[in-house]
């Protein structure tokens, strides 16, 4: 997760709220309260696929949204409210919670399986914890409280990746050995309601994610082979029933030369992995020409991770 810039008192702090991608998502059971137990490998996008949050001291609490996807929030109150709900939750844990003006620059489509609203809430918590000196309230030992109070995807977005995520989203274990991943994110502009995808699941007691090879992966091809052979997104099948356009997106990613293509989260956004950044960018351009109605972004997943050979990434 990028560092928050150091700013003088009173100035605005900013942070990225990057897209969250589930490289795999296994549903392994269900809790008594109906929430599903998951086993997932989660990575985050670079600044090409991210919302942005700014916070500044203010005379009274303010929240404003702008950016190309701002209109999506008008039709999805739950996503918009996550920022202010996160603010109010952290304030309730803090002694020095002065009023703030929060600005959300919305670039990620809502209800799209890449954690947009959760990413916004996560970035809001990081920024306000810094401003209010309330870091202890969002520490690693607070993941369960954050998930229960605000949403199952939010603790992982506070933490940043790469992560193995279990429980309903509160068990977070950093993952070593994953390379930076040139990727293409594609959404067919059909929203999927997460509860609908979970409700349509046929099988809820599935196998967990297998152990990763000792020493990690030699290159992206090795990771893509391992993901394809032994891991899944168990929500893909129910989401594809709800939104058949997901199949079109997966087909387009495979035709564009992706090493592998899969849906993220509860959909409908899918990702394709590429050997180089240039391949991902070229594929994005070609696909955008053919499907101007789709949301398409080339990015690097897990970009903070040192890359063994930057030249291989087309950098």
Binding residue for ligand C5P, selected from 169, 179, 238, 265, defined by CB under 6 A: 169
Q: Should residue 52 be labelled a site residue for ligand C5P when binding is judged by CB under 6 A?
A: no
Closer Cβ to ligand C5P, 161 or 169, answer by number: 169
Q: Should residue 217 be labelled a site residue for ligand C5P when binding is judged by CB under 6 A?
A: no
> What does the angle CA 1 – CA 198 – CA 140 come to, to the nearest 5 degrees?
30
Q: Could you tell me which of 183, 165, 305 has the C-alpha nearest to residue 154?
A: 165
Closer Cβ to ligand C5P, 168 or 191, answer by number: 168
Strand order in the sheet with 181-187: 260-263, 270-273, 181-187, 295-301
Q: Are 70 and 83 in contact (CB under 8 A)?
A: no
Cα distances (Å, whole numbers) of residue 69 to 76, 184, 191 = 11, 18, 13
Give the shortest CB-136-to-ligand C5P separation in angstroms.
23
Q: Should residue 206 be labelled a site residue for ligand C5P when binding is judged by CB under 6 A?
A: no
Q: Should residue 152 be labelled a site residue for ligand C5P when binding is judged by CB under 6 A?
A: yes
Does 110 belong to an annotated binding site? yes
Binding residue for ligand C5P, selected from 29, 174, 195, 230, defined by CB under 6 A: 195
φ/ψ (deg, to 5) at 18: -75, 155
Closer Cβ to ligand C5P, 198 or 295, answer by number: 198
Does 71 belong to an annotated binding site? no
Does 119 belong to an annotated binding site? yes
User: With CB under 6 A as the contact rule, which of the stretches 149-157, 172-180, 220-228, 257-265 interacts with ligand C5P?
Assistant: 149-157
Q: How far apart are CA 165 and CA 314, in angstroms?
A: 30
Catalytic residues: 20, 153
Q: Are 106 and 66 in contact (CB under 8 A)?
A: yes
Largest Cα separation within the chain, whole Å, is 55
Per the annotation, where are the binding residues for ATP? Answer: 109-119
Contacts with ligand C5P, residue ranges (CB under 6 A): 35-36, 38, 151-153, 168-169, 194-195, 198
């Amino acid at each position: 997760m990028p560092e928050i810039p150091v700013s003088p008192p009173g100035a605005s702090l900013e942070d990225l709220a990057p897209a969250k991608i589930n490289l795999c998502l296994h549903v392994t059971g269900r809790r008594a309260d109906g929430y599903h137990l998951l086993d997932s490998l989660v990575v985050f996008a670079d600044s090409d696929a991210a919302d942005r949050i700014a916070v500044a001291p203010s005379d009274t609490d303010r929240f404003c949204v702008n950016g190309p996807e701002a209109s999506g929030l008008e039709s999805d109150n739950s996503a918009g409210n996550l920022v202010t709900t996160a603010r109010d939750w952290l304030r309730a844990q803090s002694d020095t919670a002065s009023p703030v003006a929060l600005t959300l620059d919305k670039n990620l489509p809502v209800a799209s399986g890449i954690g947009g609203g959760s990413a916004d809430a996560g970035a809001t918590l990081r920024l306000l914890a810094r401003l209010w000196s309330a870091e202890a309230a969002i520490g690693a030992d607070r993941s369960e409280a954050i998930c229960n109070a605000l949403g199952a995807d939010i603790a992982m977005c506070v933490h940043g990746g790469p992560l193995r995520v279990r429980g309903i989203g509160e068990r977070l274990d950093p993952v070593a050995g994953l390379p930076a991943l040139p990727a293409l994110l594609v959404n067919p502009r059909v929203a999927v309601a997460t509860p609908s995808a979970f409700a349509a699941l046929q099988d809820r007691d599935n196998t967990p994610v297998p152990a990763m090879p000792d020493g990690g992966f030699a290159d992206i091809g090795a990771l893509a082979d391992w993901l394809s052979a032994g891991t899944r997104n168990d929500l893909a099948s129910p989401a594809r029933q709800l939104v058949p356009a997901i199949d079109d997106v997966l087909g387009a990613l495979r035709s564009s030369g992706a090493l592998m293509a899969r849906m993220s989260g509860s959909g409908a956004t899918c990702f394709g992995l590429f050997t180089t950044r240039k391949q991902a960018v070229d594929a994005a351009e070609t696909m955008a020409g053919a499907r101007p109605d789709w949301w398409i972004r080339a990015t690097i997943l897990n970009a903070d991770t040192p890359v063994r050979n930057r030249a291989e990434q087309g950098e």
